[in-house]
């Protein structure tokens, strides 16, 4: 088993948790200064080397992941959560491919966002720069370890990783491979700090460490995000939940709508871009809903419907007011019949989480109105919400999906992990 050399050293000492965390953060902060001056070639070399090493050690990763899966089953984790936790051969290869894709992307650092020459001759440039040190606190999905490290390194940031206890063995081995790969390329492994303890006090300490950490990204359930936002002294990029919708308009291609709904709900119900509510225009409810409900139930989906939906399928459960604002992360779907697009948009903007929402329609005017009026980070026409994903958006991976409006919104990729500064060049000007 490979562990971060930092934590191997600290665990063998008499340092208490506070001292260990301070030492970890201090090393990561100092390492971040060296990364800011690294050229793109070095960063890409680290990413590609890490990808190769992940594939070379696939068997070992699977072995460690099995320990987490076995513990999760004993702890009674749901099938959806176990799916998030599992690292299949396909997902391990996707991790490596994600790192290679990030390496192939344009380096955002140093991009001139704006340049002007003032009447007095001063040249003012607005230039994209790294944020510095990013702490990501996440649950369940161990592929986040590789995604977060890859995006942070390419965008010139150091990163501190704190995964959930349910994925401790998986996260530890992946973090160790990343750190070893950085060292193999001649750079400082402390660019990726790994919090190898399940003690929750470590998280509390991190969230107060504004002297070392520049931004915190929680990635997990609503409870985690709210706890982080309440405790943190550091800016937090938030994603509370994914209450996503598909609205099937009266002018929809109903076969297309069925395929989109099935994909958006059943492909991976335990992820944030899966839909939790289906809205159907009243004009087509009688022709569309009975077969749609049957298809969903055949896949094991529990339907909770409004009174009009129940009139078409009286065996289903009643949808309560709470259902409209619940992120199930499971094979459960609330269904509501609406009068028109106005009611659909009102429902989404009232109960949704501003994550991902879709309309299925052949009417361009209706589609344009939906895209304009729905206040969400990602809005779709005739496509599944499951595409809200950094890899699918061509970002290689993502740090998460932001439902904030500042400073980033939607999938958080390379550009969203940068800020900017002004660089001014003169030739002796003074202000009078």
Q: Is 115 found in the same domain as 256?
A: no
pLDDT at 15: 66
Measured CA to CA, the distance from residue 16 to residue 13 in angstroms comes to 9
User: Angle at the Cα of 39 (from 34 to 44), degrees rounded to 5?
Assistant: 105
Residue 163's pLDDT is 95
Helix (H, G, I), strand (E, B) or coil at 279: strand
Q: Say whether both 270 and 418 belong to one domain.
A: no
User: Could you tell me if residue 113 is inside a domain?
Assistant: yes
| Same domain for 157 and 216 | yes
pLDDT for 7: 39
- How many domains are contained in the chain? 2
Element (H, E) at 351: helix 341-351
pLDDT number for residue 36 = 75
Q: H or E element: which one contains 411?
A: strand 410-411
Helix (H) or strand (E) holding 18: helix 17-36
Strands 133-138 and 215-219: parallel
398 found inside a domain: no
* Residues 209, 285 share a domain: no
Q: Are residues 333 and 377 in the same domain?
A: yes
CA distances from 102 to 5, 21, 176 (A): 26, 29, 20
pLDDT the model gives residue 223: 87
Same domain membership, residue 141 and residue 221: yes
* Sheet containing 192-194, strands listed edge to edge, beginning at the edge strand earlier in sequence: 192-194, 158-162, 133-138, 215-219
Residue 264 lies in a domain: yes
Q: Residue 5 has what pLDDT?
A: 41
Same domain for 134 and 270? Answer: no
Cα separation, 398 vs 125, whole angstroms: 28
Give the pair of three-digit tokens for residue 333: 């779907």
In Å, what is the CA distance from 421 to each residue of 25, 112, 154, 236, 415?
24, 10, 18, 20, 14
Whether 70 maps to a domain, the answer reads yes
| Judgement on whether residues 216 and 253 belong to the same structural domain of the protein | no
Residue 297 sits in a domain whose CATH number is 3.40.309.10
User: Residue 223 domain-assigned?
Assistant: yes
- State the pLDDT at residue 121: 96
406 assigned to some structural domain: no
Together in a domain, 258 and 329: yes
Q: Judging by beta carbons within 10 Å of its beta carbon (0-12, 13-18, 19+), is residue 211 exposed, middle or buried? A: exposed
Determine the pLDDT at residue 13.
43
DSSP 3-state of 354: coil
Q: Are 299 and 267 in contact (CB under 8 A)?
A: no
Give me the average pLDDT of each 10-residue run along the chain (432 residues).
40 70 96 87 97 98 97 91 92 95 95 97 97 94 94 97 95 98 96 93 94 94 89 91 96 98 95 96 98 98 98 96 95 98 98 97 98 97 96 86 88 94 96 92
| 135 and 283 share one domain | no
Domain-located, residue 403: no
> Where does residue 146 fall: left (phi above 0), alpha (psi -120 to 50 degrees), or beta otherwise?
alpha
CATH number at residue 20: 3.40.605.10
Domain presence at residue 129: yes
Count of Cβ atoms closer than 10 Å to residue 37 Cβ: 9
Query: What is the span of the domain harbouring residue 357?
Result: 244-391
Judgement on whether residues 19 and 164 belong to the same structural domain of the protein: yes
Given a contact cutoff of 8 angstroms between Cβ atoms, the answer to whether 125 and 421 are in contact is no
122 and 44 in a common domain: yes
């Amino acid at each position: 088993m490979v562990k971060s050399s930092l934590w191997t050293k600290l665990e063998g000492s008499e340092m208490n948790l506070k001292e260990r965390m301070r030492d970890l953060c201090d090393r990561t902060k100092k390492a971040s200064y060296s990364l800011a001056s690294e050229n793109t070639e070095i960063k890409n070399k680290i990413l590609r080397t890490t990808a190769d090493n992940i594939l070379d050690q696939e068997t070992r990763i699977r072995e460690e992941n099995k320990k987490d899966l076995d513990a999760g089953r004993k702890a009674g984790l749901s099938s959806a959560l176990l799916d998030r936790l599992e690292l299949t051969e396909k997902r391990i290869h996707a991790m490596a491919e994600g790192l290679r894709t990030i390496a192939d992307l344009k380096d955002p650092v140093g991009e001139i966002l704006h340049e002007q020459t003032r009447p007095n001759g001063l040249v003012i440039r607005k230039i994209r720069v790294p944020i510095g040190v990013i702490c990501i606190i996440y649950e369940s999905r161990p592929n986040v370890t590789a995604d977060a490290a890859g995006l942070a390194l390419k965008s010139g940031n150091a990163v501190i990783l704190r995964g959930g206890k349910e994925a401790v063995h998986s996260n530890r081995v992946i973090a160790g491979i990343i750190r070893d790969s950085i060292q193999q390329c001649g750079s400082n492994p402390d660019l990726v700090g790994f919090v190898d303890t399940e003690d929750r006090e470590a998280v509390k300490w991190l969230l107060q460490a504004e002297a070392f950490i520049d931004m915190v990204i929680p990635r997990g359930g609503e409870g985690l995000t709210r706890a982080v936002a309440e405790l943190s002294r550091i800016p937090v990029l938030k994603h509370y939940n994914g209450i996503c919708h598909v609205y099937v308009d009266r002018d929809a291609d109903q076969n297309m709508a069925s395929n989109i709904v099935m994909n958006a709900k059943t492909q991976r119900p335990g992820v944030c871009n899966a839909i939790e509510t289906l809205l159907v225009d009243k004009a087509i409810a009688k022709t569309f809903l009975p077969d749609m409900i049957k298809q969903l139930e055949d896949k094991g989906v529990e339907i909770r419907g409004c009174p009009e939906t129940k009139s078409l399928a009286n065996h289903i459960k009643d949808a309560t007011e709470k259902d409209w604002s619940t992120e199930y992360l499971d094979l459960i779907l609330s269904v509501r019949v609406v009068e028109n697009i106005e009611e659909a948009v009102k429902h989404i903007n009232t109960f949704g989480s501003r994550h991902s929402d879709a309309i299925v329609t052949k009417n361009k005017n209706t589609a344009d109105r939906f895209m304009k009026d729905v206040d969400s980070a990602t809005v779709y026409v005739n496509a599944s919400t499951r595409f809200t994903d950094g890899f699918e958006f061509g970002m290689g991976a993502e740090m998460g999906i932001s439902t904030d409006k500042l400073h980033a919104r939607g999938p958080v990729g390379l550009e969203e992990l940068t800020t900017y500064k002004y660089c001014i060049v003169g030739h002796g000007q003074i202000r009078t």
